Amino acid sequence: MSNFYRYFRENMESLGLPAPASLFGSLQMAMANAATFVAHVDKFGQRITVGEMLGAGLRAEKLGMAATLSAAFYVGAVIGSIAVATGRTLSGGVSLADVMWGIRCNGLYRPWLAETLRRNAAFYDTRMIGRIAYRTRMIR
């Protein structure tokens, strides 16, 4: 198991969210799937759920346990977790500025994503208390 995936999974699990290795096992896979998720939210709107994304043809059946979550919320958690994993792999930490730089450099920037990350710092700030409760905030 790569350090990237170990840190990614650790961050997602601390938020109470699934992080299947088949989708996020490497930085490249995680970025490709994040781009797919962002495209689905762009196409179907911020109110789409993970379950509705799955119904719209997203091939990520292992996310079924997160079906009731807002897709924008889940994408924010994925992007934040990519930043945490990358930051920990390279230098031991990450900030919102690091996350924003990363999404801009990889063509994932969207105003709704920036706002989701700003409102949910626990996606990328591992020092926040009560991170596991974030999952329950966005169940529809």
- Give the tens place of pLDDT for each residue, 80-101: 899 888 877 666 556 777 777 7
| Angle between helix 3-14 and 27-44 (nearest 10) | 40
The pLDDT score that the predictor gives to residue 20 is: 92
Please answer whether residues 124 and 80 qualify as being in contact, where contact means their C-beta atoms are separated by less than 8 angstroms: yes
Q: Which residues of the chain have pLDDT under 50?
A: 140
Domain chopping of the chain, boundaries: 3-137
